[in-house]
Chains A and B, each alone.
Chain A
Amino acid sequence: MKYINAVIDGLSVSVEEGKTIMEAADSIGSHVPRLCFHPVLSTEGACRICVVDVEGYNNHLPACATKLQDGMIITTNSPSLRETRRDLVELLLDNHPKNCLTCERDGNCELQNLSYKLGVRERLFEGWRKEFKFDDSNVSVLRDAEKCILCKRCVRVCSEIQGVHNLSQMYRGVKTVVSPAFMAPMDESVCIKCGQCINVCPTAAFIERDETDKVWNAINDPNKFVVVQTAPAIRSAIGEGWDMPYSTSWTGKTVAALRRLGFDAVFDTDFTADLTIMEESHELMERLKSGENLPMITSCSPGWINFVEHFYPELLPNVSTCKSPMQMLSTLAKTYYAEKTHRDPKDIYVVAVMPCVAKKFEAKRPEHYSPNGYPYTDAVITTRELIWMIKAYGIDFVKLHEDEFDVPLGTSSGAGDIFGATGGVMEAALRTAYEKITGESIENLTFTEVRAVEGLREATIDIKGTLVNVAVANGLNNAKIILEKVKSGEKQFHLIEIMACPGGCVNGGGQPIPHVNKFIYPLDKDLVKKRQQALYSIDEAKTLRKSHENPAILELYKEFLEAPGSHIAHELLHTTYSEKSPKGIK
């Protein structure tokens, strides 16, 4: 490895060849202000905030887009540089709405933060302001082009990570705007509603549809019995809302907070994660027996389901018909639980706390309405929305005691917990499939070969002589690689797990956005790893680690569902998919 030697702010630096001035400066603690830069995405060089001076060059150079060269003498700070940066931010502000106080990203906006740090204390420029209609056509992702600063992070994440290519820059000059093709509303585009654009946006040009008002109203309605369920990934990240340590799970405190908010029953989506494994492994064994519709592809991630419907409709028969754990729990709450507690399902209001904005769309799919016309899931709020609710209510999350989920829809195995990490569904399924296929107890419960922070993994699992080819993909560009192999027949897979978001649900589009001052960006591999670790720790600490040993699941089958794949299980726990337009371009 060749090293490059240079001087930055009077200090000698030596970094590997190919690093940028920004990376070299970061390594010695010179944090050049930046805006369009994102460590996981390609270099854009659009905002020019990160300009530096290099001896021998007449113009400022962008630190993010300039490779360090031997002998460079670099200054990251001077009155002229500071003035340039401040002017650039002032020009952005001039073309930006002045409603910071009521903005969702108030206090955690990169533009606002930069403006404060660079000393912008008054607005000197008054000029032409762009005007666009607020796009609230979409159930999940709302678009406010007036707040867009054209950093193109959303364009980059949508194409480079998700392979959806829904967004691009349209028109030119002062009229430039980021939009789906034909300036179409988001709802009429190929948007898969994963919400990664929300996660990477430095301002609030993309936000989720806020459903907290609906939830407050339900809680305050004396005629409603309000049930809440929380997905596995919530407990791994909710503490970030109070700056609590990473790599730790906050299950007990989350339950306590939900109970204090006034929910009548607090259930765990992990319970139906276990149920998903029961149904999915049964489905897999049936397909292995018949040899039809293999490989089977998991169906938990609603962003992935939207993707396959728009982009790979020819593979829809391969997708497991199992509803997602969220929909399974909501369905059971209004059937099994309603029956058990003698309640009219119409009086039960189901709220789901999800790390995901695509879940908001999933809940409203016509397939997920009961034959009697009401939705099984009434409202979906993200981890971010739950954090606001807890703060709005005046609860000090840090001081809460640890509470337990309600029964029976709150008991779960460790296999359910790891659903929130990429490879988790696969690992949980393998634990159950192994025992079902061999009839023997499995000794080593961890399948590290399917655990991955990187986006793609293939493995062959030897189940006592039965070789099962599996693949795990997260981030839809990675999924495309596997799906193309399936289509070409290059490799025969049996089971494939696909999660739309990079790293799995822990990095979903509804997860907390780290505070700007932390310089940790959503999609950061280290952050993803820490949230995953929180879930693996819960699993390791549990004695109950296999879905098919969960006593509440066994009771559910005994009392209500009969057996995996039974008629009633099919009616309540399975769903259908259909090709959607516009058709995406792979």
Chain B
Amino acid sequence: MCTNKKYTLSDEIVDYINECLVKEHPESYLIAILHKVQGIYGFLSEIHLDEVAHLLQVPTANVYGVATFYHYFRLKPRGQFAISVCMGTACFVKGADSVLTSFKSELGIDMGETTSDGLFSLEGTRCIGVCALAPVVTINDRVYSNVVSQQVSQILNEIKAAERV
């Protein structure tokens, strides 16, 4: 298949969309396709969404409507370090919102955003099930427990320092 020349999407995805096209109601596979794209690239870029629209022949505005409707889909690349602040009930009552505020002001970004150097991205998450350690923050695979807002700059500095080495 020579489609890879025309598209920046991987052959795997292009092939999958072509499989969908011969099925009944191909447009109903849109969400499944977007999951695959995000699975491979980590987020949904405008160029990829546009290519999905053209390959699947679903209007680009509709594809973007779906991509923005579901919280699961990311429209911006994740940072090298993905910070998730648990906003579950236990974490929240123990001050997760002030922890989140500290991350926002320290990084200068809002929830769902990534710092311009691509190092950090920030999001709030639902309960991750370790309420005994509340408030909990995860950064990639590492879990930080009993976090208070005063710790935030120290956590970030440690990561930055480690990166510089």
Contacts and interface: CB of A to CB of B under 8 A. Distances in A.
A165 B54 contact: no
Contacts of B57: 585-586
Interface string B46-83: 10011001100111111111001100000000000000
Nearest to B56: A585
B69 A181 contact: no
A167 B53 CA distance: 14
Contact of A168 (B49, B54, B62): B62
A568 interface: no
Contact of B69 (A171, A190, A582, A583): A171
Nearest to A159: B59
A182 interface: yes
Contacts of A171: 68-69
A170 B65 contact: yes
A301 interface: no
Count class of interface residues, chain A = 20 to 34
Interface string A162-187: 00011111111000000111110000
Nearest to A155: B61
Given A172-B68, A172-B69, A167 B50 contact: no
Contacts, number: 50
Contact of A585 (B46, B54, B65, B68): B54
Contacts of B53: 181, 585
A585 B59 contact: yes
Contacts of A181: 49-50, 53, 59-61, 63-64
Chain B binding surface SS class? helix
Contacts of A180: 61
A168 B46 contact: no
Contacts of A585: 53-54, 57-60
A165 B62 contact: yes
Nearest to A166: B61
B112 to A, nearest CB: 11
B57 to A, nearest CB: 6
B9 to A, nearest CB: 16
Nearest to B67: A170
Interface string A334-372: 000000000000000000000000000000000000000
Interface in B4-21: none
Given A181-B64, A182-B64, A168 B50 contact: no
Nearest to B63: A181
Contacts of A183: 64
Contacts of B61: 165-168, 179-181, 189
B68 A582 contact: no
Contacts of B60: 165, 181-182, 190, 582, 585
A168 B64 contact: yes
A344 B30 CA distance: 59
B22 to A, nearest CB: 18
A582 B50 CA distance: 10
A182 B62 CA distance: 10
A346 to B, nearest CB: 42
A135 to B, nearest CB: 14
Given A168-B61, A180-B61, A182-B46, A583 B68 contact: no
Nearest to A586: B57
A228 B160 CA distance: 67
A170 B65 CA distance: 4
Interface centre among B57, B58, B62, B65 (most CB of A within 10 A): B65
A169 B64 CA distance: 9
A487 to B, nearest CB: 15
Interface string B8-49: 000000000000000000000000000000000000001001
Interface string A304-339: 000000000000000000000000000000000000
Interface of B: 46, 49-50, 53-54, 57-65, 68-69
23 contacts: A159-B59, A165-B59, A165-B61, A167-B61, A168-B61, A168-B62, A170-B64, A170-B68, A170-B69, A171-B68, A172-B69, A181-B49, A181-B50, A181-B59, A181-B61, A182-B60, A582-B50, A582-B60, A583-B54, A585-B53, A585-B59, A585-B60, A586-B57
Given A170-B65, A182-B49, A585-B53, 5 more contacts: A166-B61, A168-B62, A171-B68, A171-B69, A181-B64
